[in-house]
Chain A
Amino acid sequence: MTAFILRRSLQSIVVLFIMSLIVFVGVNLVGDPVDMLINPEADQAEIDRVIRDLGLDRPVSEQYWYFVLNAFQGDLGRSFIFGEPALKLIVQRMPATMELALVSLLMAVVFGIPLGIYAGLKPNSKFSKTIMAGSILGFSMPTFWVGIILIMFFSVHLGWLPSTGRGDVATYFGVTSSAFTLDGLSHIFLPAFNLALFKLSSVIRLARAGTREVILQDYIKFARAKGLAESRVVRIHLLKNIMIPVITIIGLEFGSLIAFSTVTETVFAWPGMGKLIIDSIYNLDRPVVVAYLMIIVVIFVMLNLIVDILYSVLDPRVRIKGVS
């Protein structure tokens, strides 16, 4: 296991390096941040001074060299706009995004798996057909549009739930989250549901497809032949077998939940990383964009690792080399 984790970490460093190269060159191609930063009435001397201060007068290769050197010391650059370390800005906003992603993931799993299994066990019932039709809607409707409709219906029309912000937060065990207060929960419900809808639909479809396949296997019939209660057949024999593909998708999608929560965060004015990255892209705040993308890469790599480890827990046939 240790060898496996080490090897994966080395691979991650290579991925991180290549990614940083692409991102760094990429942000240098899209627009000149100086135009955004300085007073339009500034004279040439002033402009030159700003360019020199930001280090933009050096060749890209040299800028990259310094970026890498600093990165090894945990410094991913300073935001042009806020003048603060980019990493600090992102880390400050990370809890908000994390809690949003976690709550939507929870929603997707808690509702998706039972609904999917039900639809798989009783494929011809009316309710199953409704579930499946709903899941098609779920991933064909654009997230921003669903978000707006949710706000219109639940916030404006019914007035049940707030439409913007994080609400009250509370801290337990060193974790600050709005999921710990009633007000916070009411704030998180709509954005989390909005973000979860797509994942919920894919979890439903995966769980259903898995159920349809596994239920026909001899080992399910054999489990019934042993006289087990149907609930045990479904909860143990079926569930454990369909969890393998579901875990893969959940793991990988969790990364995309974090990375692409930008749309939902924008619609619901959620003060998370997604909102920050959108603002930074508008302002051509290069260090923040680069730092953000680096962090996303790290998150993806870590999630992949966790998924691989979970596999071996769920499926004894998958043996991670170095274990046995």
Chain B
Amino acid sequence: MEPILKINNLQTHFFTKAGILKAVDGVSFEIAAGEIVGLVGESGSGKSITGFSVMGLVDPPGKIIDGNINFKGKDLSALSNDQMQNIRGNRIAMIFQDPMMTLNPVLRIETQMIEAIQAHDGSISREDARIRSRDTLGLVGISSPDERLRAYPHQFSGGMRQRVSIAIAMLNRPDLIIADEPTTALDVTIQGQVISEMQKLCRETQTALLWITHDLAVVAGIADRVCVMYAGRIVEQGLVADIIANPMHPYTQGLMGSVPSQNQRGKPLQQIDGMVPSMLNLPVGCAFQNRCNYANEKCSNIQPDITQVADGRQVRCFNIPVGQRL
């Protein structure tokens, strides 16, 4: 299927006083219509900035300096702010991490929903926009949506607020939703509900979903494909089942090992040693070398390229550990 979003060599850098911070440094991946892609990484790995780059919402001093973001044949990085405004919330929507903070505390839910519709459809009446808002609220599982429209955000629980954000994202039937850790701030039970709700909605409406998270378990539950990011670069990508069954990059292996599981009961939990290197001062060669058990001289001198190791499977490593090779 033709991808609706095709990111090629995206470079988003922050020009800080301390130096240039390469938050996103050459990221490339694709999403097909109706596909769910997980973007996994630690804090500071550049996964959220990748999402904001697609939205055209990178705050200064950040700037997209190279690469292109091809969305349905248009390069978003070349669009003016006005043109981008027409796409934001209309063709591409976004859901944020903390549902307590994403809704404006002083505006009614209906105000915040209707404005999102009217921003992209000047001819729709307030009443029609309200009806669509109500129906969408019902769609995401909010009971008595008519009453709830009149409510303020503080009258909702965290999970309910996240459902409202999801409803707002779905209002204009976007082609792509970027979800930036949308379940991180929620209880596990609510997390499960939100995930299955999103999955169902995206399947039904053929909406593509970019799910940004640090939680591999969540990705395993929802995504079709996974991109693993480390220090601003994608280090491994492939189908979710393949990556879970057979992680190839030492970092992905480390991530998998760090998830507590039944099989390792009583044994000390694996950790990835060391810290993420400072983004302002990345080592020459592979960014993961100082934490990697397989690193050798080549890793500290040459930056490995991401290479195709199997159909739909890419890894950025010189020494794919023995036994993991296909």
Contacts and interface: CB of A to CB of B under 8 A. Distances in A.
B87 A227 contact: yes
Interface of A: 217-219, 221-229, 232, 236-237, 240-241, 314-317
Given A241-B106, A316-B106, A227 B154 contact: no
Interface string B83-102: 00111111001101110011
Contacts of A222: 94, 96, 102-104, 165
Contacts of B103: 219, 222
Nearest to B116: A226
B149 interface: no
B55 A225 contact: yes
Interface of B: 55, 57, 85-90, 93-94, 96-98, 101-108, 111, 115-116, 119-120, 152, 154, 165, 168
Contact of A227 (B90, B98, B101, B152): B90
A236 B107 contact: yes
Query: Looking at B88, B93, B104, which has the most chain A CB atoms within 10 Å of its CB?
Result: B104
A237 B104 contact: yes
Contacts of B89: 225-228
Query: Looking at A218, A221, A314, which has the most chain B CB atoms within 10 Å of its CB?
Result: A218
Closest 6 CB pairs of A and B: A227-B89, A226-B89, A218-B101, A227-B88, A316-B152, A226-B116
Given A316-B106, A317-B105, A225 B152 contact: no
A217 B106 contact: no
A219 B101 contact: yes
A236 B114 CA distance: 13
A202 to B, nearest CB: 22
A170 B118 CA distance: 45
A215 to B, nearest CB: 10
Contacts of A241: 104-106
B102 A218 contact: yes
A225 B120 contact: no
B172 to A, nearest CB: 8
30 contacts: A219-B102, A219-B103, A219-B104, A221-B96, A222-B102, A223-B104, A225-B55, A225-B88, A225-B96, A226-B93, A226-B116, A227-B85, A227-B86, A227-B87, A227-B90, A227-B119, A227-B120, A228-B115, A228-B119, A229-B119, A232-B115, A236-B107, A236-B111, A236-B115, A240-B107, A241-B105, A314-B106, A316-B108, A316-B152, A317-B105
Contacts of B108: 316
Given A226-B119, A227-B85, A218 B105 contact: no
Contacts of A314: 106
B111 to A, nearest CB: 8
Nearest to A223: B104
Query: Looking at A222, A225, A229, A316, which has the most chain B CB atoms within 10 Å of its CB?
Result: A225
A316 to B, nearest CB: 4
A224 B57 contact: yes
Contact of A315 (B86, B105, B120): B105
Contact of B94 (A225, A229, A316): A225
Contacts of B120: 227
Contacts of B152: 316-317
A217 B88 contact: no
Nearest to B152: A316
Contact of B106 (A221, A232, A315): A315
A219 to B, nearest CB: 4
Given A218-B98, A316-B154, A317-B152, A229 B85 contact: yes
Contacts of B104: 219, 222-223, 237, 240-241
